[in-house]
Amino acid sequence: MTPPAAKRRLMEQALLRTPGDVDLRLGLGAHCLAQGEVDSALRHAVAAAALRPDWQAELLLGRVHLQRGQADDAAARLHAAASRAQAPAAARAAAWRMLADLRLNAFGDPGGAAQALQACAALAPAHALDADLAAVVAALYEGGADAGAMGARLRLLAARLPVPAAPVLAPRSRPGQRLRIGLVSAQFCASPVGFLTLGALRVVAQQADLFFFDRGAKDDWARSAFQAIAHRWVGCAGTDTATLHQLMAAADLDALIDLGGWTDPAALAAVAGRPARRLLKWVGGQSLTTGLDCFDGFVADGRQAPPAAQPLYVEPLLRATDNYVSYTAPPYAPELDAAARQPPLPQGRPAPGCVALVSNPAKISAATAEAVRRLAPRRLVLVDHRWRHAGTRAAAEQRLGPLMAIAEFHTPAHHPAYLETLRGLDALFLDTRPYAMGLTAIELRLLGKHVRLARPPARAPMCARHAVGHYGAATLAGHARLGAELLRWCGP
């Protein structure tokens, strides 16, 4: 096989002889992109598009803009490639799939993401499960569907997962020895999984050996903290279901905790193959039931999943004594550590006429927009890094309508800047609905901000009750108690 550097030299030499060769330009662009040389990839892609503006050039430009973090440009190119009738079905499906990811994660448009995945599945039926899952996700964000019906749809999706055959696990043969507990997630970093599980897992690690199956790639302070308590760290980003299942089964685990749910269907399918003696579902994609009957417990608490909500869950509910999560303050905001132990009460009154929405733009549903309109604000402050994209603002305008005329956009580039923006913002912060604020609600509470909570019915999915549940907790730093409960639930 020709080494990458030698292959590139050969293509560059050929391009000197035939500078108008579009296929060479496309090949060099794809090669540079694979090597992480995005500027060179862009130069070749632009040259190819100028010579022959076809689907291949559009698709390559879309991929390059994605790597450069230029979501709006990427979306335009990917949509152009996906719309080219002469392009192969596989290429058009790939473009629709990348566009769906942009619409959900960059533009906060779950309905648009579902439409893109439906178009993808029409060209590539292997993605039918992804398309149907996207429709469920859109319904969770946008509302209008009965919670029981949503659970039924998830059960139907669960039945379609390619679940590996469960291994034969011998009874635990190490009485008195430390438990072996696995955790699987793509978010072992500064994310909801990081902030809300690290404290309790540090307690668990004192008495159990933790095996981390890391499906992500982000390297930050939280990832280092997780690695510091790991008995074994298994990097498995991109690993297929069957291989992941084998890796988990080989670890001889007493328990396995899923921290991804339907955000990672491949990992969820591996977990459903029961590669451990006990299976628990905890933080991460924990909107509602997984629809799977393989779990021995779904970790919640009495506010997140009150008794009236029990019929919504296939899994047995394990209710923590106080809160089902505990908050770990980041090193750049140490004052939040003391606030988590004893959350402060808001002081004074918020600035009149100013309302703030500071969560994921995908949560700004028609119901959220109506709640804003009822408050009749003079200023609407929107805080999230995604608001820098024209696509995000366009998607929100479909829901907020005339309110966009009074909107002010704050686009902090990272979490420290986000917290600083919240600290300095004098406003009434509005909970989103039907998909409530989660980690954001905790941060607002710890910063002592005035928040108008949504008040969902008891028989509502867990994602609708996140904020009201976190505000009902006596403390957000109950690491020791929660860690002890996790150990008990993971034991024989």
Give the pLDDT of residue 168. Answer: 86
Residue 487: pLDDT over 90: yes
Please tell me what DSSP assigns to residue 235: E
User: H helices of 124-210, where?
Assistant: 128-142, 147-159, 192-205
Per-residue pLDDT, averaged over 360-382, amounts to 97
pLDDT at 174 over 70: no
The least confident of 1-15, 222-236, 317-331, 387-401 is 1-15
* Share above pLDDT 90 across residues of the chain, in percent, rounded to a whole number: 92
- Section 139-168 average pLDDT: 94
Average the pLDDT over 247-252 and give the result.
96
The Cα 367–Cα 364 span in angstroms is: 8
CA distance 348 to 296: 46
CA dihedral 207, 260, 75, 366 (to 10 degrees): -120
The mean pLDDT value for 451-463 works out to 94
> What is the SS3 assignment for 264?
coil
Mean pLDDT of 464-486: 97
Rounded to whole angstroms, the Cα distance separating 115 from 96 reads 9
User: Is the pLDDT confidence value at 2 over 80?
Assistant: no
Whole-number Å distance between alpha carbons of 481 and 221? 24
Report the 10 Å Cβ neighbour count for 351: 16
Does the structure show a pLDDT above 70 at 220?
A: yes
Q: Please give the average per-residue pLDDT across 236-244, as a whole number.
A: 97
**Omega of the bond leading into 434 within 30 degrees of 0 (cis):** yes
Cα–Cα distance for residue pair 124/102, rounded to 1 Å: 19
> At residue 158, does pLDDT exceed 90?
yes
Exposed (0-12), middle (13-18) or buried (19+): which is 131, by Cβ within 10 Å? buried
pLDDT tens digits, residue range 27-61?
999 999 999 999 999 999 999 999 999 999 999 99
Answer yes or no: is pLDDT of 173 > 70. Answer: no
pLDDT number for residue 265: 97
33, 148, 203, 405, 462 from 300: Cα distances, Å = 43, 18, 18, 40, 9
| Residue 447 phi, psi dihedral angles, 5° rounding | -85, 0
Dig out the tokens for 239 from the structure: 């690993």
pLDDT at 393 over 80: yes
Q: How far is Cα 483 from Cα 489, in angstroms, rounded to an integer?
A: 10
Residues facing residue 297 across a β-bridge: 280
Instruction: For residues 468-476, give the mean pLDDT.
Output: 96
Q: Which amino acid is at 129?
A: L
- For 457, other C-beta atoms within 10 Å of its C-beta total 11
Average model confidence (pLDDT) across the chain: 96
Give the predicted TM-score (pTM) of the model: 0.95
- Would you say residue 92 has pLDDT above 70? yes
Please tell me the predicted confidence (pLDDT) of residue 31: 93
The answer to whether 135 touches 156, Cβ cutoff 8 Å, is no
How much is the average pLDDT of 447-454? 97
The residues with which 299 forms a beta bridge, in sequence order, are 318
d(CA 75, CA 97): 11
Q: What is the mean pLDDT of residues 60-83?
A: 97
pLDDT tens digits for 288-314?
999 999 999 999 999 999 999 999 999
pLDDT recorded at residue 196? 98
Q: What is the pLDDT of residues 413-444, one digit of tens each?
A: 999 999 999 999 999 999 999 999 999 999 99
Average pLDDT score over residue span 58-81: 97
- What residue ranges define each of the domains in the chain, with the CATH number in brackets? 179-329+480-490 (3.40.50.11380), 345-472 (3.40.50.2000)
Inform me whether the pLDDT recorded for 175 exceeds 90: no
Q: Read out DSSP for 190-206?
A: SSHHHHHHHHHHHHHHT
Task: Give the span between the Cα atoms of 405 and 361, in whole angstroms.
Answer: 17
Q: How confident is the model at residue 176 (pLDDT cuts 50, 70, 90)?
A: confident
Q: Which of these, 324, 343, 331, lies nearest to 443 by C-alpha position?
A: 343
Q: Are strands 208-214 and 232-235 parallel, antiparallel or unpaired?
A: parallel
First to last CA, the chain: 51
Choose among 19, 90, 80: nearest CA to 55. 80
